[in-house]
Structure 1
Amino acid sequence: MHIPAYDVTRANAPYKADLHKAALSVLDGGALIMGTHLEQFERNFAHYCGTSYCIGVGNGLDALKLALYAAGVRAGDEVLVPTFTFIATWSAVSLLGAKPVPVDVTSEGLINPDLISAAITPRTRAIVPVHLYGRLADMSAILALAEHFGLVVIEDAAQAHGARRNGQRAGSFGQASAFSFYPTKNLGAFGDGGAICTNDADMAYACYQLRNYGSTVKYYHDSIGWNTRLDDLQAALLDIKLADLDASNIRRTQVAQYYHSFLSCFQELQCPNMGDVDMVWHHFVLLTEKRKYLQESLLNLGVHTGVHYPVAPFDQPCYKNTYNRDQYPQAITLSNTVLSLPMGDYLQDNELQYITSAIRKVCEAQKS
């Protein structure tokens, strides 16, 4: 059996007929940029997230960058970021001329609220919590700290479409949030795409301007902006899949529960915490000291896995000699031990049985 870490073709197969109809509707309508399909998706996604506004942009990185800029982050400012995340969280800050200030994470890879206060300086402007792997950061603690110190909170919700805490969706806690619609996300497009969500009318207006050359009226530019717009074709296709997102996330949870029930007994594997019932399982990530052996052995059995992420941002060449890595032990531990199993709502029980049996086989072979 051959099981990819993620299969985009299988993930999109149930929507094929509707996607074709939506694509033809966009092409026949002729409005390919900033048209009615984008407006409809923005309304629907804002409603889904529980926010007043959604601004579609070109990708998740631009969503973070524009949200931070609209919140007032400028060159010379400092922004608190988790030590363990995809590089986009950090590069969005750096591209504005601001400085990413690392805050080490918990064992689940989420920014540790207990370490935030010590990282704040007079130059600190914002906090960017990341909802890693589909699990929400501790927003209650983070928002309380932000209010106390007068900081802006911009959620990086790129991996948390639909995640909730006490009924409130990811992306609706901070002053704004950034989503990615990269094809492998829980809500994935057919190329790059992203969005900013917010309840702040002024921030929304600023983001509408910034994504379109600083303009809301054609040929009149109130600010210097970017060209980063979610096109109508992607918006129409995303709208089709949005209607099924909750059902898709429920199936992902079932996949995670299956993994946990069969793998939690192995001492050499640390399974993720299943107590967060509103997690949406963008990834199911094991921790193992035997990662290389396990990954290579599973590949020989046809099971592909991923590593999210093997190199923490502070260890990346682009930040070389900028940070003291010894200050971030939890991020280093995670980067050395994380292993992502295949995850998708399309996975069948026989495939899950094969994956877990393969893992059991590898673990038992290593003991013998």
Structure 2
Amino acid sequence: MSPIPLSRIPVDDEIKRAVLAAIDSRHYILGPECRAFEAELAGYVGVRHAVLTSSGTAALWMGFRALGVKAGDEILVPAHTAFPTVEAICAADATPVFVDVDPWYTLDPVDAATKITPRTVGIVPVHLYGQPADLAGVRDLVSRFGLWMVEDCCQAHGAAWDGRRVGSFGRAAAFSFYPSKNLTVMGDGGALVTDDEEIAARGRRFRDHGRTSKDLHVELGFNLRFNEIQAAVGRVLLGRLDAMNERRRALAGRYAERLAGLPIVLPAERQRARHVYHLYVVRAPRRAELARVLGERGIQTGVHYPVPTHRQPAVERFAPPPLPETERLADEILTLPLSAGHTDTEIDEVAGAVRAFFRA
């Protein structure tokens, strides 16, 4: 059996032609390809502005800065997320307040409500693994307590809540284009999206040393710019995103059929949501042994994430409380191979190997 990777990135002649055309244009940073990608991405998400930047982390940081976050401000964030979500809050000088997760592995609004203080300014629902967070519950908190919402959509390109795409619900949202994401640019990259003109304008300044013109710096920023070559790739793949997401959903359904009846918890799509299966994450007993056996058969797996963010040494100064559901997840979850580039046969081989493990 040939090795089965966790994710398979699309590379074909159309993408190569787009890259060569971008090179031949002699525009390399924030040129016409970037502007076109920003307009197309904003239109796809359903917002007025998209600001390309160097990563999803940078996009989150720019959003927090544009909202005026300052030292002492508290921001609610699920502990079960990739560490950059928390890192961006800390980089903006704010304090992360860690929230446990619900049965769909996203921020639990009930737990979040118990952690709101007079210092709480915002909330960051993370649409983890491609599953939209409980946006009804989050929006209720935003309304009741006068908070802002910044969506972390870094794993949820094209996911939707009540038929409306994520990234269009908060004051701003962040996307990542890392190679394994549903929408990639063949490297690092990200985007801040918003309907707010001022947030977009500040985001553009922050990504380019705080400049409003070549030699005028009105605030402090960084070099967080985007390039034409990756924008060209992003434009090609944005045009395929819905089809690629449908393929992911079909493969997730195939897994569900073939893994039914085993002593593992399969991912489920919550009501009102459209899951785009950035990752196919199961909860399994004997996880380490299962991962080892699959690895011996050439099947790559992962754990997203083995150390919860609130237990990371970098944030221990915030004295986070125990979060039982997050901590249970960290001990049980296992990511199986899934991407738009996988074949039905590969999914069947993985499922067959999992079934054989539990029936041995």
TM-score of the pair, normalised by structure 2: 0.97
8 Å Cα contact 2:6-2:337 kept in structure 1: yes
Letter of the 1:295 counterpart: A
1:351 to 346, 350, 354: 346
Letter of the 1:150 counterpart: G
Task: Give, in whole Å, the separation in 1 of the partners of 2:62 and 2:104.
Answer: 28
Please give the secondary structure, in 2, of the residue aligned with 1:74.
coil
Structure 1 residue 352 displacement after superposition:
1.5
Q: Does 1:178 align with 2:155?
A: no
Structure 1 residue 211 displacement after superposition:
0.9
Q: Does 1:332 align with 2:327?
A: yes
Please give the secondary structure, in 1, of the residue aligned with 2:114.
helix
Structure 1 residue 7 displacement after superposition:
4.1
Structure 1 residue 30 displacement after superposition:
1.1
8 Å Cα contact 1:272-1:285 kept in structure 2: yes
C-alpha root-mean-square deviation of aligned residues, in Å?
1.3
8 Å Cα contact 1:5-1:306 kept in structure 2: no
Q: Residue in 1 aligned with 2:258?
A: 262
1:12 to 3, 10, 13: 10
Residues matched between the structures, number: 359
Task: Give, in whole Å, the separation in 2 of the partners of 1:29 and 1:347.
Answer: 34
Letter of the 1:30 counterpart: R
Q: Residue in 1 aligned with 2:2?
A: 2
Please give the secondary structure, in 2, of the residue aligned with 1:154.
strand
1:112 to 72, 85, 108: 108
Task: Give, in whole Å, the separation in 2 of the partners of 1:64 and 1:190.
Answer: 20
Superposed CA offset, 1:247-269 (max 9, x none): 00000001100101111211x21
Task: Give, in whole Å, the separation in 2 of the partners of 1:30 and 1:172.
Answer: 34
8 Å Cα contact 2:10-2:341 kept in structure 1: no
Letter of the 1:343 counterpart: L
Aligned positions of 1:238-253 closer than 5 A: 238-253=234-249
8 Å Cα contact 2:95-2:318 kept in structure 1: no
1:151 to 128, 147, 150: 147
8 Å Cα contact 1:187-1:238 kept in structure 2: yes
8 Å Cα contact 2:125-2:151 kept in structure 1: yes
Aligned positions of 1:274-293 closer than 5 A: 274-275=269-270, 278-293=274-289
8 Å Cα contact 2:47-2:194 kept in structure 1: yes
Task: Give, in whole Å, the separation in 2 of the partners of 1:139 and 1:101.
Answer: 18
Q: Residue in 2 aligned with 1:52?
A: 48
Letter of the 2:332 counterpart: T
Q: Residue in 1 aligned with 2:296?
A: 300
TM-score of the pair, normalised by structure 1: 0.95
Q: Does 1:70 align with 2:66?
A: yes
Task: Give, in whole Å, the separation in 2 of the partners of 1:50 and 1:324.
Answer: 36
Superposed CA offset, 1:277-305 (max 9, x none): 61100011110121011111111122111
* Runs of 5+ consecutive residues of structure 2 not aligned to the other structure: none
Task: Give, in whole Å, the separation in 1 of the partners of 2:212 and 2:28.
Answer: 17
8 Å Cα contact 1:181-1:188 kept in structure 2: yes
Letter of the 1:236 counterpart: A
Superposed CA offset, 1:162-200 (max 9, x none): 001122101111000000000000001211100001011
Letter of the 1:80 counterpart: L
* Runs of 5+ consecutive residues of structure 1 not aligned to the other structure: none
Q: Does 1:167 align with 2:163?
A: yes
Please give the secondary structure, in 2, of the residue aligned with 1:345.
coil
Structure 1 residue 324 displacement after superposition:
4.3
Task: Give, in whole Å, the separation in 2 of the partners of 1:217 and 1:251.
Answer: 44
Q: Residue in 2 aligned with 1:208?
A: 204
8 Å Cα contact 1:315-1:325 kept in structure 2: no
Task: Give, in whole Å, the separation in 2 of the partners of 1:274 and 1:152.
Answer: 26
